[in-house]
Amino acid sequence: MGVVLTRDVMEKFKLELIAGEEGIGRTIVTSDISRPGLEMAGYFTHYPANRVQLLGKTELSFFEMLPANSKLERMRLLCSQDTPAIIISRDLEVPEELIQASNEEHVPVFKTHMTTTKFSSRLTNYLEGRLAPMTAAHGVLVDVYGIGVLIIGKSGVGKSETALELVKKGHRLVADDCVEIRQESENLLIGSPPPLLEHLLEIRGIGIIDIMTLFGASAVRPYKRITLIIELEIWDPEKVYDRLGLEEEKMKIIDTELTKLTIPVRPGRNVSVIIEVAAMNYRLKKMGVNAAEEFSRRLDEVISSNDVLDD
């Protein structure tokens, strides 16, 4: 899981720092946003202190109605030691009691010009992306006809060379050697390269090459949803490989199961063309066109008709 500091949010959304500067290094641990309406009324029994607190027109107008002797106490309770940040929307005036409490507890207070709902939506999306569960996979991620294909296999099997051939055919490289994978939502895996390896491809005998410099900006992309996994392995004459495609193998990454194909590699096989066809066939299956099932249906019809003739 990634780490997000309140400083990151401030820089991302260009927030104005009002008070509590010493706390801008606090860590945000959840993508949930809290609008503390009940807390403004004095109910802190189930206060979600570890969330970013967002105060809009409703909360601040109610706060102004409170007795003067209650305002500072409410803001001190709001500024707990676990609170990562408090953000005021619509460029509304920040109460003096909040400024005093935030400076005392070192809770940063920011201000944004955006409306409460719009900012809450944008901040939630940002935090969900940054705080999503993460893992890393040894392989190559390529965008083939819009399908994110993760190519895996043992070292030296030809993953990078296959990716290079796909790039030459007009497809786009996302990551080579190490693919960082984030699960941004249910059944949604996003792959991207580590910053150190962005746009780079390693070819044995040549070394490191920069794909964007060689083939242009259209040959790379910064991230891609992973929908298909293809494992390359050296051809094993004693192994039985799937020849019909009726049985679909799955591979689990984090909490998501993806379709996995195993392609045997040996001299004379054009692996890049096979991967192109695999990506197109995967897309057809998602559209309801399954050649393997159609062949099986035709075969059953032929067998049935022969049985009838024999009778």
- The answer on whether 160 is annotated among ligand-binding residues is yes
Alpha helices in 96-210 (DSSP H): 96-105, 116-130, 159-168
Which sequence positions are flagged as catalytic? Answer: 138, 159, 177, 243
Structure tokens at 179: 């693919």
Residue 157 in marked binding region: yes
**Could you tell me the end-to-end alpha-carbon distance of the chain, in angstroms, rounded to an integer?**
66
Measured between alpha carbons, how far is 292 from 121 in angstroms, rounded to an integer? 44
Name residue 274's amino acid: I
153 is in an annotated binding site: yes
| Tally of CB atoms within 10 A around 97 | 19
Q: Is 146 annotated as a binding residue?
A: no
The answer to the question of whether 185 is labelled as a binding residue is no
202 annotated as belonging to a binding site for a ligand: yes
* Cβ atoms of 208 and 170 closer than 8 Å: no
> Does 154 show up as a binding residue in the annotation?
yes
Distant-in-sequence, close-in-space partners of 271: CB < 8 Å, separation ≥ 6:
158, 162, 165, 232, 263, 265
Detail the residues annotated as belonging to a binding site for Mg(2+): 160, 202
Binding residues: 153-160, 202
Residue set of the binding site for ATP: 153-160
